[in-house]
Amino acid sequence: MKAHFNRTDFNVDRFVNLARRRATLAQIHNDLRVYLKVVQNAMIELINDDYADFVNLSSNLVGLKETIDKLNKDIESIWSDLSGSTHDVMQTAEAIDQQANELADCRTAQMDLSSKISLILALERLADRIASRPDTVDSFWLGGLSDAVVDMELWFRKLSKPEDQLCEARNACIRHVQRIVEELLVDDLKADCLNTGRLLGILTLISGIDSASSRIMTEVIDPKVEKSFDDLGLFLENILAKVNELREEWSSKLIKNAMRVSTITPFLDKCLLTYIVSMLDSHFGSVLVPIDNRLFHRCYSRVCEFIRDWPDAVISRTILKMIRDRFNLIVYFKLQTNNLLTKMNDNKEPSAFKLITAATSVERSSESEKNQITSDGNHPRMRSFSLDDDEVKLHCEYSAIFVDSLTSLWRDDFYLASILDKLWDLSMKLLEKYSTWLDALIKFFENDENKIDEYDGWRILCAVYGDCLTIDTRIFDIALTSIWPKIREVGLDVTMFGQCLSAFSSRITVKRTQLENIIVRNIVALLNKAMEGVSDIPRHYRWTKKPHPTEVSLYMNEAFAIFNAFKEEVGSRSWGDEEIENVSKRILDESLGAFCVKAEQVIESVEQTGSSLQRFKRKTGTGAGAGSDQVNAADTDEGKIRSQLMLDLNLCQTNAAGLDLDTSRINELIIRAGLTTKSPTDNIIKSGPIHSLPDMSIVKD
């Protein structure tokens, strides 16, 4: 039984079932009591073992604490002994450090005093050297002066706190030295540049470079420049030419005298370039902020050329940039382009549309001459809108303004590489403005009721269409000859600009198609209105006793006069032969289609009316005899109508065949119109015996 309790998988139900088969309840109870005692004894043993371990651990911890305390006491004792032994050493070290500091202060005071003595001696030597200046300065005296200045500066800079008296004495000597050296430098630059390097060394040592630069500009450079205040462009040319001349002269002298050119030239370059800056600020205010754009372009171009050709531009980059930045390119660009944009904005509305005429040409030419005199920002060579201009065959004033504006932006006497980005942007804006103008014009004339008082709508559209053809070619010509070479000069790719022009050309092609549709619609409407006269042919010949027709109708002459006027108009508007032929075919084909419908209606009415009259005559003409039947059908009203239709249809057939149009329908109508028509020579009544007189009342009717 005990073995069952000790199993790891002991189960109460299984144990009870097993006990029921082997023992009674009393036996099971006794076994459980026995097992309970065994468990209690095991627990007591376990508790006793744990208590013993706890007691042992406590004893060990107490011993460990005693050991640690002992170690701490030993360490404190040792540290106390060490501190006591080093105290004397520390006191000794502090005493030694104090003595060393006192010795160092004493040494510093001795050195300062020695420096003051040396400085005073250097000042005396420098004063003696200044006082003993000979009438003709030689290299020996100049070397002594240089050595004296070096000694003075050397000893002065060794003083930690120089006294006021020493500072005043030094400054007085420096002023005298600076005045003497500047005079010598000016004389030396005017002569052979023998002592330029040594003089610059002295000026550098006493920080007198800036003052010397100003004096060189005033006494050396300025007197050699030829002044021309009436012509600022020439004045600037003289300044730049003289600066280049002086630089070459000084460089050659320095090389001849075996001077260190690399150390002297930067100072001389600074003097020359600073002189240019000062002259620009003093005399070129009206150029830097431009009033006259031509003068600005001339001066700025010359300055850019000067900067580009300047030797050692990397060293003088800052001051060269200062010279270039003196010119206000923004004002120049706006002043030059504002008039162009104003003209385009003032003429962008359809109501402001104007065709180029002889009067327009004269007016524009006068305005161009006025701009040349007043210099108000217009380009001096702005092309007038002349009708005799073989290069620019434009017919609309806005188109001419657009082409002239784009051309003037990239002309050599306006273009500046520094504003290339602005010119590019403005060129794109001009293209966009012209495209917008075309859109507005197309939208205006899409409504047939919109008119411009001075001009016929279709003539305006023909001129605009011709300008689109011309501009599409001219823009690429301008790009190839003027724009792209300038873009390539600055190392940029022209692909982006070419893509913009291609997109503009595609838009122009779309606009031409829209214009063509409106033109065709307007001309067809005019032709249809004129050809409506075919419906009046019966009214002209029926019961009017008019003679037999021998020529085409007046309405037909008017219609083809309109058509011929259209062809003459487009021929004078720079249309290509192919465009003229295609548009003419469309117009005539649509017009003749509408005409054939109306002509067919007239033929049908003639056929119906002729049948009715014949029946009426047979009914009322019984006494007329056989002679009335001999009358030629061509002399009847219906015959005259058919003859007139034949003449008109033949004219249409001739014009349609001339343009290779399909004439099958016109031929059918000609056949129908000529079925009962005979030649007018057949109108003679055959002679014969008169059997009876006709009823006169019928004849009268």
Question: Does residue 156 sit within a domain?
Answer: no
Measured in whole angstroms, the distance separating CA 79 from the mean position of its chain's CA atoms is: 84
Measured in whole angstroms, the distance separating CA 386 from the mean position of its chain's CA atoms is: 31
For the segment 523-543, the average pLDDT, to the nearest whole number, is 86
Are 534 and 662 in a shared domain?
yes
Are 477 and 343 in a shared domain?
yes
Residue 499, pLDDT score: 92
Are 305 and 177 in a shared domain?
yes
Question: Does residue 234 sit within a domain?
Answer: yes
Are 250 and 374 in a shared domain?
no
Question: Does residue 498 sit within a domain?
Answer: no
In the chain, the percentage of residues whose pLDDT exceeds 90 is 28
User: What is the dihedral angle through the alpha carbons of 326, 332, 333, 334, rounded to the nearest 10 degrees?
Assistant: 120
Question: Helices 554-571 and 577-620, interaxial angle, to 10°?
Answer: 180
Residue 538, pLDDT score: 82
User: What is the dihedral angle through the alpha carbons of 168, 170, 172, 173, rounded to the nearest 10 degrees?
Assistant: 160
Measured in whole angstroms, the distance separating CA 583 from the mean position of its chain's CA atoms is: 38
Q: pLDDT confidence of 159, banded at 50, 70, 90?
A: confident
Are 279 and 243 in a shared domain?
yes
Residue 390, pLDDT score: 46
**CB of 332 closer than 8 Å to CB of 290:** yes
Question: Does residue 8 sit within a domain?
Answer: yes
Are 100 and 53 in a shared domain?
yes
Question: Does residue 250 sit within a domain?
Answer: yes
For residues 329 and 386, the model is more confident at: 329
Pull the structure tokens for residue 557: 């002459």
| Residue whose C-alpha is closest to residue 216's, from 163, 165, 172, 271 | 271
Question: Does residue 511 sit within a domain?
Answer: no
Question: Does residue 636 sit within a domain?
Answer: yes
For residues 610 and 162, the model is more confident at: 162
Residue 381, pLDDT score: 35
Q: pLDDT confidence of 516, banded at 50, 70, 90?
A: very high
Instruction: Tell me the DSSP string of 99-141.
Output: HHHHHHHHHHHHHHHHHHHHHHHHHHHHHHHHHT--SS--HHH
Instruction: Tell me the DSSP string of 204-218.
Output: HHTT-HHHHHHHHII
Whether the CA torsion 168, 170, 174, 177 is positive or negative: it is positive
Q: Does residue 546 carry a pLDDT above 80? A: no
Residue 680, pLDDT score: 42
Residue 28, pLDDT score: 75
Each residue's pLDDT tens digit, 273-327: 999 999 999 988 888 888 888 999 999 999 999 999 998 888 889 999 999 999 9
Each residue's pLDDT tens digit, 192-208: 888 888 888 888 888 88
Residue 628, pLDDT score: 44
Question: Does residue 221 sit within a domain?
Answer: yes
Q: pLDDT confidence of 378, banded at 50, 70, 90?
A: very low
Please state, rounded to an integer, the average pLDDT across all residues of the chain. Answer: 82
Are 413 and 558 in a shared domain?
no
Each residue's pLDDT tens digit, 86-123: 877 788 888 899 889 988 888 888 888 888 888 888 88
**CB of 204 closer than 8 Å to CB of 211:** no
Residue 358, pLDDT score: 60
Residue 508, pLDDT score: 92
**How far is Cα 222 from Cα 219, in angstroms, rounded to an integer?**
6
- C-alpha pair distances (Å), 566 with each of 520, 574, 591, 648: 10, 13, 14, 20
**CB of 575 closer than 8 Å to CB of 466:** yes
Q: Pick the last residue of a domain from 325, 359, 376.
A: 325
- How many structural domains compose the chain? 4
For the segment 228-245, the average pLDDT, to the nearest whole number, is 90
Residue 684, pLDDT score: 31
Residue 359, pLDDT score: 54
Range of the domain at 285: 163-325
Name beta bridge partners: 336: none
Are 92 and 171 in a shared domain?
no
Each residue's pLDDT tens digit, 601-640: 888 888 887 556 555 555 655 434 434 443 454 567 788 8
Each residue's pLDDT tens digit, 414-472: 899 999 999 999 999 999 999 999 999 999 988 878 788 777 888 899 999 999 989 98
Each residue's pLDDT tens digit, 646-691: 898 999 999 898 888 888 998 998 888 876 544 443 433 233 333 3
In the chain, the percentage of residues whose pLDDT exceeds 70 is 86
Residue 631, pLDDT score: 45
Are 191 and 277 in a shared domain?
yes
- C-alpha pair distances (Å), 669 with each of 535, 608, 658: 15, 16, 19
Q: Pick the last residue of a domain from 87, 109, 131.
A: 109
For residues 634 and 147, the model is more confident at: 147
* Residue that has been written with the tokens 């067809």 in this structure: 524
Residue 688, pLDDT score: 32
Are 318 and 344 in a shared domain?
no
Residue 676, pLDDT score: 53
For the segment 567-571, the average pLDDT, to the nearest whole number, is 88
**How far is Cα 263 from Cα 294, in angstroms, rounded to an integer?**
40
Residue 623, pLDDT score: 39
Residue 383, pLDDT score: 38
Are 9 and 101 in a shared domain?
yes
Q: pLDDT confidence of 30, banded at 50, 70, 90?
A: confident
Are 485 and 556 in a shared domain?
no
**How far is Cα 129 from Cα 125, in angstroms, rounded to an integer?**
6
**How far is Cα 149 from Cα 151, in angstroms, rounded to an integer?**
5
